[in-house]
Amino acid sequence: MNQQIGLFLFSNDLRLDDNPALALAASEVDQLICLYCLDPKQPPSSLRAPSNLSAHRQQFLFTSINDLHNSLKQLDQGLMVTTESALDIIPQLITQHNIGHIYASENAGYYEKQLWQRLAKRYPFIEFKRLASHTLFTQSDLPFELTELPTSFSKFRKLVEPLSIQSPLPPLKIMPPSPVTPIPPLPKSMAVTQAPLFEGGEQQGRLHLQGYFDSSLASHYKQTRNGLDGKDYSTKFSPWLANGSLSVRRVIDCLRQYERDIEANDSTYWIYFELLWREYYQWYAHHYGVHLFSAKGIKSSKPNTSFYPERFQKWCHGNTPYPIVNACMRQLKATGYMSNRGRQLVASCFVHELGLDWRYGAAYMEQQLVDYDVASNWGNWQYLAGVGADPRGHRRFDLAKQTQTYDPKQLFIKYWGADKNAPPLDSVDAADWPIMSP
């Protein structure tokens, strides 16, 4: 009897715990190739630059991949990591190993879905299967057709909040062997200026999750969530959720246990509330596809903005006339991370104060953020630019008022050296005359 040989294509599901697609693959084939493609030639979406990732984001990703590789080795498996495109390497593996089944987790990214569809169309004799692993719900769980996705988060929340969430699957303990030789792990360190804020990988993600709910931080989350700097003001689950080292259903499972055993209050509810925001953007990306990267977003017209290279560079380097924005951008460059409040402020400044095309800001965040998630990043930028799911339109923040509210003593601004006078926004005026400092 011929052995069934399968291939599992990892993407944003770098874990063994609660990985439905991987569990299905492990149950259906006799041998399984586990593959991850670090493809520098990945087709970019509008203004995206996937091959130009920050050292912080690269390090977090590489550490996550190494952790997955080591976990698979314990099950007599291994991770094949390649810099070739999936469209190039998978056909080679199909020919070499007579692969009959290909598995993956669903991905909200438009180009990731296109790649999958092209492979499935090219090989109609192979069975292609995808299952949800990045969301709380599956598409069949939703109380509406995806084509009827609510146009605002509030409407979405009211419909899905009463739904029950499936319990997470246990970590895999048995895996079919691989017909290929395991690939040595990737370099563990990158050229970063300081120790990383977050250590990548499923093991570290689970340790962080456990540590958070072993503390009392969840009971005070709503009061602290708008902090700008520090370790404990927010959950910090997002880096591991973003690349799938941590299951969002596992997070909910731990949250519910905390509410049963310790305390359920407005703060614990707010953690769930914000995970529903994340959920909304996943289905938003599935629904709108390539429009996630369009200048006009999901609206009928685009904002009256443009691209000014000098302004863009000053924003990137934290050298604008707005100290709170400068501090956030310097924090991002130094750490690969920025608070949710900070992200709203820098995006509002980018669009409304600097008059820049929002897509360049979203693309820069894609390069820099260790917790980059295609749906949350581009969906939130559309929201702030007034071309997304915000029923109120443009969401403009008063930066002086926000500074007074969230950094009244300017401790955050001073810490990041953003309290110095910045040069003028533009070095030339509308007639290209140099602007002189007073």
What is the predicted pLDDT for the residue at 186?
A: 64
Residues of the chain with CATH 1.25.40.80: 202-289
Instruction: Read off the pLDDT of each residue in 235-240 and give the average, rounded to a whole number.
Output: 98
Please give the distance of CA 233 from its chain centroid, rounded to a whole number: 20
Q: Is the pLDDT of residue 92 over 50?
A: yes
Are the C-beta atoms of 397 and 353 separated by less than 8 Å? Answer: no
Instruction: Report the CATH architecture of 309-415.
Output: Orthogonal Bundle (1.10)
* CA distance linking residue 36 with residue 10, whole number of Å: 5
Tokens representing 180 are 């290929």
Segment 85-98 mean pLDDT: 95
Q: What is the pLDDT of residue 52?
A: 77
Segment among 44-48, 61-65, 152-156, 176-180 with least mean pLDDT = 44-48
Residue-level pLDDT at 190: 46
Q: What is the pLDDT of residue 141?
A: 97
The reported pLDDT for the residue numbered 73 is 94
Residue with tokens 């048995």: 174
- What is the maximal distance between C-alpha atoms in the chain? 84
pLDDT of residue 317: 95
pLDDT band at 436 (very low <50, low <70, confident <90, very high): very low
pLDDT at 202 over 50: yes
pLDDT mean over 277-294: 96
Q: How confident is the model at residue 17 (pLDDT cuts 50, 70, 90)?
A: very high
For domain 5-133, which CATH number applies: 3.30.420.40, 3.40.50.150, 3.40.50.620, 3.50.50.60? 3.40.50.620
Q: What is the pLDDT of residues 160-191, one digit of tens each?
A: 999 999 999 999 999 999 998 866 666 554 44
Percent of the chain with pLDDT over 90: 81
Residue 434 clears pLDDT 80, i.e. is over it:
no
User: Taking 70 as the threshold, does the pLDDT of residue 209 lie above it?
Assistant: yes
Looking at residue 187, its pLDDT comes to 59
| Residue range(s) in the chain whose domain bears CATH number 1.10.579.10 | 309-415
Per-residue pLDDT, averaged over 222-251, amounts to 97
How many angstroms separate the Cα of 356 from the Cα of each of 361, 428, 435? 8, 17, 20
How confident is the model at residue 196, as a pLDDT? Answer: 82
Alpha carbons 372 and 339: distance in angstroms, whole number:
13
Q: Binning pLDDT at 50, 70 and 90, where does residue 44 land?
A: very low
Q: Looking at beta carbons, which pairs linking 55-58 to residues 24 or more positions away fall under 8 Å? A: 55/190, 55/191, 55/192, 55/336, 56/190, 56/192, 56/196, 56/335, 56/336, 56/337, 56/368, 56/370, 57/336, 57/367, 57/368, 57/369, 57/370, 57/372, 58/190
* Angle, CA 256 vertex, CA 271 and CA 278 arms, to 5°: 35
329 HSE (CA, 13 A, CB side)? 23
Does the pLDDT value for residue 96 go beyond 70?
A: yes
What pLDDT, in 10s, does the model give residues 346-401?
999 999 999 999 999 999 999 999 999 999 999 999 999 999 987 776 679 999 99
- The angle, 0 to 180 degrees and rounded to 10, between the axes of the packed helices 202-214 and 55-73 is 100
CB-based contacts of 90: which residues, under 8 Å, 6+ apart? Answer: 7, 9, 35, 102, 119
Task: Pinpoint the residues of the chain covered by CATH 3.40.50.620.
Answer: 5-133
Query: Above 50 in pLDDT, residue 135?
Result: yes
The C-alpha atoms of residue 315 and residue 281 are separated, in whole angstroms, by 26
Contacts of 65 (CB under 8 A, 6+ apart): 14, 36, 38, 79, 81, 185, 186, 200
Q: Which CATH class is domain 202-289?
A: mainly alpha
pLDDT at 1: 59
Q: Which amino acid is at 394?
A: H
Name the strands in the sheet holding 79-82, side by side, starting at the edge strand that comes first in the sequence: 79-82, 31-37, 5-10, 101-105, 127-131
Residue 246 vs residue 111, higher pLDDT: 246
